[in-house]
Amino acid sequence: MKRFLMTAMLVAGYPAFAEAQSEEVRALIEAQQQQIELLQQQLDATRASLQMLSERVESNTQSSEEANEKAEILADTMDSQPAPAVSPVKLGGYGELHVNMLDNQLNGESKNELDLHRFVLFYQHDFTDRLRFNSELEIEHALAGDGKPGEVELEQAYVEYDWARNHSFKAGVFLVPVGILNETHEPPTFYGTERNPVERNIIPTTWWEGGAALTGRFADAFRYDFGVHSGLFTTAEDGYAIRAGRQKTAKARFDSQAYTGRLRWLGIPGLELSASVQYQQDITQETDPTAGGAWLYSAHAAFQRKHFGLRALYADWSLDGAGPQAIGADRQAGWYVEPSWRFNSSWGVFARYNQWDNRAGNATDSEYTQWDVGVNYWLHPNVVFKLDYQDQDAPAGKSEYDGWNLGVGYQF
């Protein structure tokens, strides 16, 4: 009886139990299905991301390949073309502005003026490594023309050819190889606002002629120059003064040519020793029978060792003929000595004693002397400011200027 009752109870409760178990299984299956769907969505998103990444990699690879191809094409193009050459054209120049505040001791008059003394441009063209053209164009005193104080001058215009190692030939208009300043006179390269009076009146700087010349070096320490060129044309009306005889290659008389030679020695660093000789058969270009040939002898030394510098020059002209001899112009000579001290790269001071005489051949008083003392300030190696004082002694009855000079100059 008891077994019957238990069996009956189990049979009666089974449908409810089975229904409860079915609900749990269904819920579990639905939860698993949701998880499967979520995983499927994540898998799809991952696949999409991988596809996008793959496309980017492919695109980048293609771009890289294209870039490499372009680089290779550009490299091939550059290899097929010659390398760009250095420009055959070189430009340069220099200039200087002066202020002169001088008193004439002869008559008490003052000379106070400002002057753009020089504006110069250099032009060089290299045809080849051995053949070149050089030129120098200058404007003096700012204004040129009729009634104006200045001039436009072509100081250099020549072709130069290196015919052998350390040896060259040039033809055209060039600076005469004599003195210290005649070839190198850019403002930052010398002391004093004005160029020294000896090289102005005796050499005479700046002095250029037209012709041909050889230049070169040998034995390492020696440099030589030899030229055949146009000469001076001075007259009795000018007192046979050397500076007045410059023709500046402007329709120059060519009846009597000149011959100039120079030898320099640079065997010790910082030291230059130089000697020049010039001969001209007739310094009046065959216009004055009372005049004749002329010889110039010049020598100089330039020394720079650390802070100390020293320049010294002597120049002497000898003119033939009764005409120059009658007024003492048969001998024209001068010299100067200039010690200097460079404190540093910016500041330097100097003193200079000058003596010159364009009528040294007679016994009359015709000699000039001048003391110069001053300071240079280099704002840059190629830009300089100058201040100096001059004290001049002149022959009786001649103008004698004392006072201050101020200047600024540059080169490039």
What are φ and ψ of residue 241, in 5° steps? -70, 135
3-state secondary structure of 131: strand
Query: Any bridge partners for residue 387, and if so which?
Result: 375, 406
- The predicted pLDDT at position 7 comes to 39
Lowest mean pLDDT across 27-41, 52-66, 386-400: 52-66
Q: CATH homologous superfamily of domain 91-411?
A: Porin (2.40.160.10)
Q: Would the pLDDT of 70 be above 60?
A: no
Q: Which of 97, 237, 245, 220 is nearest to 166 (CA)?
A: 220
- The predicted pLDDT at position 363 comes to 84
User: pLDDT exceeding 90 applies to what percent of the chain?
Assistant: 78
62 by Cβ neighbours in 10 Å (0-12 / 13-18 / 19+) ranks as exposed
Segment 27-38, tens digit of pLDDT: 555 666 666 666
Q: What share of the chain is helix, strand, coil (3-state, %, to 5)?
A: 25, 45, 30
The 3-class SS string of 234-285 reads CCCCCCCCCHHHCCCCCCCCCCCCEEEEEEEECCCCCEEEEEEEEEECCCCC
Q: What is the DSSP string of 160-224?
A: EEEEETTEEEEEEEEE-S-SSTTT---GGGSSSSSPPHHHHHTS-SS-EEEEEEEEEEETTTEEE
Does pTM top 0.75 for this prediction? yes
Segment 292-322, tens digit of pLDDT: 999 999 999 999 999 999 999 999 999 999 9
- The predicted pLDDT at position 200 comes to 98
50 versus 150: which is more confidently predicted? 150
Residues in Cβ contact with 249 at an 8 Å cutoff, skipping those fewer than 6 apart: 154, 173, 208, 209, 210, 230
- Specify the pairing of strand 258-265 against strand 222-229: antiparallel
Q: How confident is the model at residue 3 (pLDDT cuts 50, 70, 90)?
A: very low
* Average confidence (pLDDT) over 14-36: 52
How far apart are alpha carbons 311 and 315 in whole angstroms?
14
Q: Please, how many CA atoms are within 13 Å of residue 404, restricted to the half-sphere of its CB?
A: 9
How far apart are alpha carbons 373 and 351 in whole angstroms?
4
Q: Retrieve residue 357's tokens.
A: 């005489």
Q: Which of 192, 207, 146 is nearest to 309 (CA)?
A: 192
How far apart are alpha carbons 196 and 199 in whole angstroms?
6
3-state secondary structure of 44: helix
Q: Which of 365, 351, 267, 176 is nearest to 184 (CA)?
A: 176
* Average confidence (pLDDT) over 273-283: 99
Residues in Cβ contact with 111 at an 8 Å cutoff, skipping those fewer than 6 apart: 100, 101, 102, 103, 104, 401, 403
* Average confidence (pLDDT) over 46-55: 61
96 by Cβ neighbours in 10 Å (0-12 / 13-18 / 19+) ranks as buried
Lowest mean pLDDT across 15-29, 116-130, 148-162: 15-29
363 versus 64: which is more confidently predicted? 363
